[in-house]
Structure 1
Amino acid sequence: MDLNKRQIQLILILVENKREPDYLPLSAKELSSKVNVSTKTIYKDLLVIGDYIDQYKAQLVKKPRIGIYIKGSDRNLLKILTGIDLKKDSQYLDKETRRELVFSKLLNSDEFITIQDLSDKYYVNRQVILEDIDDIELRLKSIGINLQRKSGKGIRVELNENQRRKILTQVISRQLFNATTTINEHSLRIINDNKLSISKEMITEVDKVLSNFTNKQNMILNDYEYQSLLVHLLIAIERIKLGKFINSDHWGHSETYLVESKVLAKDLEKKLNVKFPKQEIYYIQLHLIAAGKKRTNKIATDLGKNTLLHGYLKDFGYDKQLYEGLLLHINSSLNRWKLGVSITNPYKDSIIQKYSYAFEAAVNLKKLYEQKYHTKINDDETAYLALHFEAFLERRRASNNIIQAVIVCSTGLGTSQLLAARIKREFSNVKVKEILSYNEYLKFDAKNIDLIISTIELDEGVIPTIYVSPVVSTEELKNKIRMAINDKSELTDDNLLFNSLISERNILISKVDSWEKAIRMLGNLLEKNNVLQKGSIESAIKREHLSFTSFKNISTPHANPKYVNESQIGVLKLEKPVVWGEQLVSVVFFIAFKGDVPQAKLDEIYDRFWDVLSNEKLIKKIILSGSSKSISNLLKGK
């Protein structure tokens, strides 16, 4: 069945809407505004669309006063999408991908671009493009850049070449390293060459040249350094072809890596028919200096000498893997920080949102290095540091969940060995330290043992003990172990601890015109309720200046633990959203945790908190709530 361009667009809108966590059926009027036709035309199109999706065991539902939606499994939605005949020169894109492409098009153009040009290029109506531009304008404002709008001419971004490339680096990195590259059931997106600002052929060719160069020159780059250099070269080549050059003459005074930079430029010139002027070669040189040749054996000799890092980790907690991992990372990053060469982390937003505790640890560490080296470390670098902390926390969680056990039987042989083998195979969280005979048990130091599993009667002791037959069933063994160690994950309400931090008295609905005022308003309420001490508000504002805690329509400012009297989470629901970094924020969660909260409890709190923050349907209900009580009940799952 042939579908026209508009009908394909309507299918994609309905499928994308179905994939939203808090999706609501769309009315015919809403659909008509999205594709800029009458509701009468929409209903005609829906007849065709209904027949088309029937063949994929899905259903187009039209309910009066409720709306229009597609009913079907993810697998069937995927089949609908893959069954669409996409013309090679057409772009049927999800919202985020389209906005990235519009953004990169603006960044690559010095001339005005009309809304109609963008509307025609991406097969959406003018209103959709205007919403895209509003989103892009907010991003630019957050970094102090204005979008020019001129009636009759269109829009453009006025930037110098250095600024333009810096922002392009972020956009292209997201496209290359944070995009779904295949069609699958978990991400219903159609990815093709048209979803990249730079052609796949160009990316492949530059990647080959750079890979060969690093091998020949013995340049040892980690993944994000290699990715960063690759993106820089791609953008440089595209801009050089447009006759746009970086202003970097002052970088040519050093001989360090100048020869290598000329070699790399020559390799690219041969392969891609492009000419690198000297200032562009100096810019490559700067990136190579920032990366440098890192010899593992040389770095290893410096382990233990970094008193700044060691001093910080002594208070946070660490193992050898965390210490060495951070030290190696920081060692390779110092050149970048000093030279002001930034790398782009395509996973930054996800790391900040999902690993907020680890990111907070990274922010505090980077502050120390900024002070020592008089430099500025951006959120992309900080997010990479956070991954080291999160890996350590995961190791510690795994270690804390391991039950150290001994098996006791009359001889320590035979059937007890069978029991130990079964436990090893079937219980990943139980580690059998020893298999003991009764006589060995009497002499054994059980100081670090969590559980005794015995096939014979023992004198009563302080360590939890279970008695089993050597051929006990797996289910019985599992139940006895769980009861003996009081497995909290099974026996307690996971939300109980988080809910104890939510109080109606610490929830506010109000209106402010800046993020600083939002923090002050909520902070004053928490001070009044004796949750916070004086000084907490200024410390939270100071923390935001290090790295904004906003994402999507939420922000999570922190109070320094030394100013906290009682662990609580304050909530401010804003009547109108405010600009907070790059986001428009509607709900503020002021996190106030005392410094003595055990790590295990923090893990439990943050696990539940992440569930709340990532639940878009719940956040939308909070935004629509009219009272502190209803917000409290929503957060507590009532």
Structure 2
Amino acid sequence: MYMTAREQKLIKYLLHQNRYVKVGEIADYIEVSTRTVHRELKAVKSVLEAYGLQLDKQPGKGLKLVGPSRDKQRLLHDLSNDSHVEYTSDERKLLILCAMLESGEPIKLYTIANDLQVTAATISHDLDELENWIAPFGLSLIRKRGYGIELRGPEDAKRKIVGNLMADKLDVQQFLETIEMNIKGRNQTSEKIFGVVSRGKLLKAEKVLSQAKEQHGLSLSDSAYIALVVHLTFAVERIQLGEVINMNEEELAELKHTKEFELALTIAKSLEEVFHVKIPDAEAGYITMHLRSANRSYKTDYRAEDIELDTALRTKRLIDFISQKMGVNLNDNQSLYEGLIAHLEPAIIRIKEKMLIHNPLKEQIKKDYFLLYMAIEEGVERFFPDTYFPDEEIAFIVLHFGSVLEMNKGEININALVICSSGIGSSKMLASRLKKELPEIASFDISSLMELKTKDTAAYDIIVSTVQIPYEGIDYVIVSPLLDEEDVKQVKHQLTRKIPLILQKRRAEQKKTAPFPDMLAVAEKISHYANAIRHIVSHFTVEVVKTAESHVQTVERVCLLLEEQGLIRDAGQMAEGLLSREAQGGLGIPGTSFALFHLKNEAANIPLFKAVDLTKPYDIKAMDGSSIKMKRMLIMLAPDDIPPEGSELLSCISSSIIESDDSLAAYGTGDAELLYRRLNMLFHTFIRDKKW
């Protein structure tokens, strides 16, 4: 059996689909035109017939591969073991790149041509394109007659480009199959994935990260998790080859102040024990960058003091802009705001560090949500002018807005679990579409494939997935992430089939008495909220402080005042902490004349919020890197051991500062009486709307 890589990809895609798929969907998946798909379908017809399979074509529905299940499995097995592959141009470039990295010395052109079974002219053309491919990463090729081909450039650039390419090629299902096959003892651990990292080392690195994830409550999307496992594995292999990575001292010093660096050191120590290598601080720095650039969950990973107010302000302005463009008020949608913050902060870090993200739905999102896509493209260009968002990132942002817009269109009443490997945004999109098409569905939980094993699947009435689930005993429906008509029919059919079981379960649940909330726990929470409100409101004042000769001295003078008032224990320690926090990024609110100095530190006695007016304004760095003339300092401090309820209230103040132009004006110039009233109203609304 001899087929091109594209033909193999087409057949594997059809084998994995348990539904009718349209030609356009296949074209998007294998990244070709619909005309090419029709041509490839004709080319593979004889192969399918040889295995007793055929394509069933239905007008309006698409096509589906039909035939005995055992013959499908036989074909899939043969495809997986077929060594006669004609590589695509991109595949050849990746293999050439990996060969140069593994060799560490020049490789002869004819050797590569012989290995890939193509002409030297073809390889020469591939190398021309490869040079353009690697240039943005600061890498170059040395090509000399009689010398060979060699990859030149810094080690961190080599790590970055291979990590990006492998994470893009290694999908969630393939990754999970590697893990599952190892558990079942069917893995060839010496085999290399894409010629770079061994499966055995990948499995060990995955185990290290899995343990860190469990012990530290780390929440990562599937794609971010895989990218980090690949990075760790490749880093270990490069260290074992004697390739050491370097990092700018200032950049490393900044990373050491982040909360992710401590976790990176823990992961590095575990890698040292498992692989018997020495992991330098620079490697921990790059692990930190991966953790900071990963998509996470807002609820589990973001606290008041961690959110950059500049990003929050820009996010709110983006939401307002899209609201006006789409004619729908989204400004009060807290879920949208939280989801965007959880995506945008790591996205900005990814873009800054040239860490690519793969979005398999990009082209389909562009087509299905063209107007929304264009509006968001204009919005991010306007409100994030210093950051160039690639199409993949914009498409993910579209999913966040799209899910909320879809939710406005329907009501609901059955418990569903939505599984998607493309991140929170696409899962939300699928859930929203399901809500629209199936009003009887009342609630959704969203899970990635990796989180699925921790879920009680029996607790859900229906499970809908965008990918094949590699675990046995789970009854589910597989659909497209953007849910076409055929998908809706499949879900409705599944619900109809399960209605008797669902009704039986509901009757059993009705017989059970709903448990009362734990009033002791509720009372504890109320006590924490009350204490925090009492401290913040009773100690709020607008102070006037004489501007010192330098910024450092001014901050120290403010901290001395707080120490004299008994609000903090050590003015020197607090000033040092605030200045260190400021060094990580400006604290000035862009477009205003005030800054928010916020810190959680053991020197704070209580949670507090104060305004300090300076006698003489001076320039400081703003959160967006610009400069503002600071007239007022807002001081927000909390003890290290502040309960979550206290952090929640301080977060409430932070959000209120940037919620509108009126809020910015009030916090920037308002007197003590005005701000005292705002705090009272803010906390009153918070407690009134709180669900216990």
TM-score (norm 1): 0.44
Larger Rg: 1
Provide TM-score, normalisation by structure 2. Answer: 0.41
